[in-house]
Amino acid sequence: MLTRREFIRTAALFALAPRILTAREREIWVNDVHSQLNRTRVRELLKPRTRDELAEIVHSASRKGLPISVSGCRHSMGGQQFATDSICIDARSLDRVISFDQESGLIEAEVGIRWPKLIRTYLDAQAGKAKQWGIAQKQTGADTFTLGGSLSSNVHGRGLAMKPLISDVESFTLVNADGKSVRCSRDGNNELFRLAIGGYGLFGLISSVTLRLVPRQKLRRVVEIIRADDLPKRFEERIAEKFLYGDFQFSVDEKSSEFLQRGVFSCYEPIDEHEPVVAKKELSDDDWLDLLRLAYTDRGKAFKRYSDYYLSTNGQTYWSDTNQLSAYLPNYAQKIRDEIGGQESSLIITEVYVPRPDLPNFLAQAAELLRSNRTIVIYGTVRLIEKDDESFLAWAKESYACVIFNLLTLHTPAGIEASARSFRSLIDLAVPRSGSYYLTYHKFAKPEQIMACYPQFKQFLDLKTKYDPSDRFQSDWYRYYRKLLASR
């Protein structure tokens, strides 16, 4: 029996002691940033800082017989960066620039570096130099992408005559399933080079990447409002006039006849190196949030405000690399809900590819389809891509027009299925035109759509087994496709 004093002391000790967490509280959950629809439980979340630590994780996982998944900034939306109950690596602490050869324009950086730091580092190193190097392309719409995530999805920007990122990659180093470092380039381990770029982390842990930079240039933005019917011709003319970048941001007002039919066509032409860089008008984060709020509530007004803003920037001048940086609000969905209320929702992106001459016809059919499905498009754009004849799982099988849709998706089974249905219907419009779609944004496509757009997918999975026979590197995206295709 405790005395009163002993009882008080014991009770106080219990109050001070750290509470023992329940099994449920100890669980580690991760999710993608943009759609917030890929919540996944992982066994451990590790943040290695060196290549040796990456190798040690592979050795340790092999001893324990555990799968590894690897994530960057978590912007993929099909579960590519997480595997349920795996050891999940967060690569973002590997973020140093290793070397920069200013003679050749080659820069080697660790895989977790994000674009703003990479750009800042090479600009600092070249301060005051007359001739400078810069990146050729990065994604638009956000900057917080790692080099590893970008390489593993083989991303693209808004170049008018560019291939996907693989064309800018000189080499990379990967820690393979045996924990060994392998350098991959066009001259050495070429098959692995072609597989891992656009290979969604299934062939090993990439530790560093050497990118080939291009000469930095000054550019002038030229903006006009045009109709989708004229788009293929206008793109061709801009390319012939030596414009380097450009896109067409279409009206998302489904109540108007302009829906997907009229848009802001902005292109960038090189200017003399002595001209000043002057871009007085820029959108702040608050301006972006205002535009987004309008796109949720009044899409006619949103398009008007957006096109007025863009037209007012006609003639502004930029640097070719920093012009590709763009604002992104990772908590946009919560902010919008706080302001306008409504059910939990977010945006899912899709990107569909069609031969360029088919663009007007595709957009007209897509408008009809999205209207009849009552799908809300918050934002959409058209860009160009040149054929990728290098990566194994190439999405740019031809020189395509890329059509991007950001769909408002309610977080209910019916809401998610409604978006999935629209995504599948959009792919159905692309397939008969020998088009395709991007694998990074979702895994809603039907098996026959996957086989039509990626006939090499099964061989891709066979080669995954060749390089990683014990299936060390996994993701829920991979497990899904392995099962789906094994059953066929």
Ligand X SMILES: Cc1cc2nc3c(=O)[nH]c(=O)nc-3n(C[C@H](O)[C@H](O)[C@H](O)COP(=O)(O)OP(=O)(O)OC[C@H]3O[C@@H](n4cnc5c(N)ncnc54)[C@H](O)[C@@H]3O)c2cc1C
Using CB under 6 A, list all residues that contact ligand X.
34, 70-76, 80-81, 91, 111, 139-142, 145-146, 148-150, 152-153, 155-156, 200-201, 205-206, 328, 440, 475
DSSP 146: B
- Please state, in angstroms and rounded to a whole number, the distance separating the CA atoms of residues 208 and 110: 4
Contact present, 317 and 218 (Cβ < 8 Å): yes
Contact present, 99 and 211 (Cβ < 8 Å): no
Q: Based on CB atoms, which residue is closest to ligand X, 141 or 270?
A: 141
For residue 282, count other CB atoms closer than 10 A to its CB: 10
Contact present, 264 and 302 (Cβ < 8 Å): no
For residue 154, the minimal CB distance to ligand X (Å) is 8
For residue 38, the minimal CB distance to ligand X (Å) is 10
Q: Based on CB atoms, which residue is closest to ligand X, 71 or 251?
A: 71
Question: Taking the alpha carbons of 175, 178, 183, 189 in that order, is the dihedral positive or negative?
Answer: negative
For residue 371, the minimal CB distance to ligand X (Å) is 24
Q: Based on CB atoms, which residue is closest to ligand X, 132 or 400?
A: 400
For residue 62, the minimal CB distance to ligand X (Å) is 17
Q: Based on CB atoms, which residue is closest to ligand X, 78 or 232?
A: 78
Q: Based on CB atoms, which residue is closest to ligand X, 74 or 356?
A: 74
Contact present, 194 and 278 (Cβ < 8 Å): no
Q: Based on CB atoms, which residue is closest to ligand X, 75 or 397?
A: 75
- Please state, in angstroms and rounded to a whole number, the distance separating the CA atoms of residues 102 and 81: 34
* Token pair of 450 as six digits: 């996957």
For residue 115, the minimal CB distance to ligand X (Å) is 10
For residue 329, the minimal CB distance to ligand X (Å) is 10
For residue 294, the minimal CB distance to ligand X (Å) is 18
CA 44 to chain centre: 24
| 267 closest CA partner among 291, 230, 303, 234 | 234
Q: How do 436-437 and 345-355 pair as beta strands?
A: antiparallel
Q: Based on CB atoms, which residue is closest to ligand X, 231 or 396?
A: 396
For residue 280, the minimal CB distance to ligand X (Å) is 25
- Please state, in angstroms and rounded to a whole number, the distance separating the CA atoms of residues 61 and 204: 13
Q: Based on CB atoms, which residue is closest to ligand X, 318 or 328?
A: 328
Give residue number: closest CB to ligand X.
Answer: 149
Contact partners, residue 240, CB within 8 Å, separation at least 6 = none
For residue 373, the minimal CB distance to ligand X (Å) is 22
Contact present, 37 and 43 (Cβ < 8 Å): no
Helix (H, G, I), strand (E, B) or coil at 99: strand
Question: Taking the alpha carbons of 211, 214, 220, 221 in that order, is the dihedral positive or negative?
Answer: negative
Q: Could you give phi then psi for residue 227, rounded to 5 degrees? A: -95, 150
Q: In what order do the strands lie in the sheet with 181-185?
A: 97-101, 106-110, 205-212, 169-175, 181-185
Q: Based on CB atoms, which residue is closest to ligand X, 48 or 134?
A: 48
For residue 92, the minimal CB distance to ligand X (Å) is 8
Contact present, 275 and 410 (Cβ < 8 Å): no
Q: Based on CB atoms, which residue is closest to ligand X, 139 or 266?
A: 139
Q: Based on CB atoms, which residue is closest to ligand X, 206 or 393?
A: 206
DSSP collapsed to 3 states, 266-331: EEEEECCCCCCCCCCCCCCHHHHHHHHHHHHHCHHHHHHHHHHHHHHCCCCEEECCHHHCCCCCCC
For residue 174, the minimal CB distance to ligand X (Å) is 7
